[in-house]
Amino acid sequence: MECTWPEKIPSTKKKAIEELVQGRDIANQLRCLLKNKLAGDHDNKKAVPAEDLVVKILKSFTNSLSILNNNESDEVSQIQANTHVTWNGPKSESSEESCRSTTLKDRRGCYKRRKTAQSWTKDTPNLTDDGYAWRKYGQKVILNAKFPRHYYRCTHKHDQGCQATKHVQKILEDPSKFRTTYIGHHTCRNFLKVPELLLDSSPPSGDSSVLLSFDNTITNKQDNPFFTSFQPIKQEYKEEIPTHDDIARIQSSSSDYLVSPDRTAFESLGHLTVLSSTLESDNGDVISGVMMGSVDFDDDVLLDF
């Protein structure tokens, strides 16, 4: 695979692109590895462990994001603005330390509101699993809204400090659809258990079964090229989802959800080419997100800088 760099591309972008290209190559290796495994090829003793490849891929993305974050933050925002999701970038990070002393026993209402967190919305005809483990923490009747809004946070908020939240609400104009607003990126990472768990996480709605696939075609916008099939579903939409029993079954493995890195960031991106984003979390850590829609592991990477 060859990449010729236009002269105007700065070196930092070149580095970022190189990192992403490297990540793609490693992902290809992983695909081959998994393909061989699924085909029953046990002779490949020289194969690199899948876990190593996963680590390399993630390192590659981390490096590229770091490069972009350090040097190209404005341009990253520019890319975000061109996506098909409704993206609300951060306006400031100033409100995060507003919480008072936490020594009070009853801390209800004492929280760090994230008015400026990045968010994006997604409309879906049903409440299919998005691959993450969410825990409902609130429900609110919204003014002028016929339906209550449900608030969810990542199950790993406490054990891994994952700051991702979302809220779900029926769309007033079209009650058969749900509008999900994702806020923040997932920082939880349980993916190391992934290779041994190719779980059937096909949604209760009967959508096409989702198995690990690095194929070019993403048949379902929920499908994620990375780790798509690995997350047991945990959803809480009891009242709306007809196949609630299916979900309950999946919930039985409650304490050990597998969560893909920044999976949320992949949501609803349809044919987005490549997009990366970074933001700071409440505690100052850099949270990185990689958003990829039509990922093509066979063709040259599309980097639309």
Partner DNA sequence: ACCATTTGACCTGC
Partner DNA sequence: GCAGGTCAAATGGT
3-state secondary structure 144-158: CCCCCEEEEEEHHHC
Encoded tokens for 245: 């029993």
φ, ψ at 247 (rounded to 5°)? -65, -40
Per-residue x/- track, 98-137, DNA (CB under 7 A): xxx-x--xxxxxxxxxxx-------------------xxx
Nearer to DNA by C-beta: 111 or 217? 111
In sequence order, the 6+-apart residues with CB closer than 8 A to the CB of 259 are: 131, 132, 133, 154, 155, 156, 162, 186, 188, 189, 190, 191, 231
Minimum distance, C-beta of residue 298 to DNA, in the bound complex (Å): 39
Distance between CA atoms of residues 186 and 281, nearest Å:
10
Minimum distance, C-beta of residue 39 to DNA, in the bound complex (Å): 36
Distance between CA atoms of residues 221 and 270, nearest Å:
6
User: 43 to each of 22, 29, 36, 48, how far by Cα in Å?
Assistant: 26, 16, 9, 13
Contact between 144 and DNA (CB under 7 A)? Answer: yes
Per-residue x/- track, 248-287, DNA (CB under 7 A): x--xx-xx--------------------------------
Per-residue x/- track, 66-95, DNA (CB under 7 A): -----------------------------x
Minimum distance, C-beta of residue 160 to DNA, in the bound complex (Å): 13
Instruction: Report the residue from 238, 271, 298, 300 that binds DNA according to the rule CB under 7 A.
Output: 238
Neighbours of 62 (CB within 10 A): 16
Minimum distance, C-beta of residue 132 to DNA, in the bound complex (Å): 12
Minimum distance, C-beta of residue 252 to DNA, in the bound complex (Å): 6
Minimum distance, C-beta of residue 120 to DNA, in the bound complex (Å): 13
Environment class of 164 (CB within 10 Å of its CB; exposed 0-12, middle 13-18, buried 19+)? buried
Contacting residues toward DNA, per CB under 7 A: 95, 98-100, 102, 105-115, 135-145, 149, 151, 153, 155, 165, 167, 183, 236, 238-239, 248, 251-252, 254-255
